[in-house]
Chain A
Amino acid sequence: MNEKNNSLLIYTLIYFAFLYVPVLFLPLFSFNDADYMSFPLAGFTTEHYEEMWSKRNLHKALWASIKVGVVASVVSTVIALFAAKAFARYKFRGQKVSYGAIMMPFLIPEIILAVALLIIWINLGFKLGLVPVTIGHILFCTPFAMLILIARIEGFDFSLEEASRDLGESAWGTFYRVSFPLYLPGIVAALLLSFIISFDEFILAFFLTGSDATLPMYMWGQMRFVQKLPHVLALGAVILVFTTFIVLLAFWLRNLGQGKAKKDIGINL
């Protein structure tokens, strides 16, 4: 279709503004020299950013989030890689049911996952902390990682693997030398996006951390105090820039080496 539709274009641009402008207020007010986030802006300061260097609890929470994020993203990507391979490669009985079961944690309200994990964890006599949070995050990240990996593996030519087997390579050797290098961009994308999901996740952490706060928990704690808000804004702005960078990197990687036709959004909901 070669026609133009200007009213729809304008609407689309307004919608983009609706998506982006609210989030951009975070960095804007993080440089504002006032406790309240209101207009007119008071003056430029980087004081809220400097404050971050001296906050012990912030550093502790950041470290906790990194630990949880790394473990959760690695474990869920490995689990998701096997599952994605099964769905992309084989037709088998119970395919739909298995797919539904693995996608479940992504669909049902997170608070229910959190509450259920909390009950079992306490009743097993374990202490709340980063371990149950990590388990929850693995559960929550696996469906995401799987969607990304299925999109990558689906276009894959499986005769390459068969050729490798016919030429006498072992199953592991075939995976290591043939499949893995071709899946790699997808794997890295899945790792990065799972890490981001875990890094930003709040509800599971809220129920399961006990006293070991993750970064979102730390921010939650600070949000209650008006004087601390600018500090949260500065931290939030840094996190926004960081996550945007990682996500763009993941998007770029995911499309690497894929034909033009396959370049869709990658999440087939």
Chain B
Amino acid sequence: MLQSWRKLYAKSENTQAYSLLSPALILVAVAMLVPMMLMLSFSFFTQVSMMEIDFSFTFQRYIDFFQKNLLVTLLIKSVKISFLVTLITLITAYPVCYYIAFYVKKNKMLWLVLLTLPFWTSYLLRVFSWKIILGTKGVINSSLINAGLLSEPLTFLMYSETAVVITLTHAWAAFALLPLYVSLEKIDFSLIEAGRDLGLSRFEVFWKITFPLSLPGVIGAILIIFIPTVGDYVTPALLGGTDGRMLSNMIQAYFGKANNIPLGAASATIMLTTVAIITIIVSNVTKRLTQRLS
């Protein structure tokens, strides 16, 4: 009797939860999954002319992708840039979160709001502001020339991979700061004190206690920065020049000027697959790492 009541209750919990979730799930299905399936099927078609697409099934677009050196290079470059951005963002943001979590006593909330505030302002404008700074007649060059330290502007600052990496590091900072802070804040400080009392050096305390305990935040930050930046379009388009071009810029071209929708769809699919594979590797490696450390 009691069991059947329980079953019924559990059933109604499930039904109630899913009726509340249904609008969100339908939205994801209709506006994301179905369009993505269609994108996948288009990657097996052929663009015949401007307006005409041959709908017979072929793997040719994927062969095209890997035969075009440019596309493969851009894919590798996108992954490389994202990797660098993720790494630099993590290393630079970690001490800041560490400071706020362990040393700031009053108004922690205010510090955090101030750290995340720039993130809410327009992405386009934040990227654009780096154009002002790094440009040939920009802030850095004009200041250095004025100060008499330079006679010619530094050209490597603008339209380069370096410019893209710097700008993305700035643009995605909040995505490292939040998860890192949340995981550091959760650490029980008595564990760190215990470590010190046991005679561990500061360095040992950090590597053996603090860092392993903050790993969930590190992993969160890695995924949440790496995945979207692989597909970034705005930054390489505004600041990348030819050196800092990424795969997204080519995908955009295939849907615009170059007009090859199937190849664009194949490139997008390959990008998504690459990201998925790397995500799986990262989460598996870190899972094992966490297990070993704890």
Contact = CB atoms under 8 A, between A and B. Distances in A.
A257 to B, nearest CB: 15
Contacts, number: 254
Nearest to B254: A115
B265 A115 contact: yes
Given A36-B137, A104-B28, A23 B121 contact: yes
A86 B23 CA distance: 12
Nearest to A9: B99
Interface of B: 13-14, 16-18, 20-25, 27-28, 31-32, 34-36, 38-39, 42, 92-93, 95-96, 98-100, 102-103, 109, 112-118, 120-126, 128-130, 132-133, 135, 137-139, 141-143, 146, 170, 173, 175, 178-179, 181-182, 185, 189, 220-221, 223-224, 227-228, 230-234, 238, 248, 251-252, 255, 261, 264-265, 268, 271-272, 275
Given A82-B20, A83-B23, A107-B228, A26 B125 contact: yes
A17 to B, nearest CB: 11
B109 A22 contact: no
Main secondary structure of the interface of A (DSSP, over half): helix
B250 to A, nearest CB: 11
Interface string A20-57: 10110110010000001111100000000000000000
B67 to A, nearest CB: 22
A35 B141 CA distance: 16
A200 B123 contact: yes
B40 to A, nearest CB: 9
Contact of A264 (B22, B27, B121, B182): B182
Interface stretch (A160-168, A177-185, A216-224): A216-224
B18 A92 contact: yes
A110 interface: yes
Nearest to A237: B125
A105 B227 contact: no
Contacts of B227: 107-109
B142 A39 contact: yes
B24 A82 contact: yes
Contact of B170 (A18, A82, A142, A196): A18
Contacts of B109: 255, 263-265
A116 B173 contact: no
B256 to A, nearest CB: 9
A90 B238 CA distance: 46
Contacts of A206: 233, 252
A68 interface: no
Nearest to A5: B103
A174 interface: no
Contacts of A92: 13-14, 17-18
A83 B26 CA distance: 11
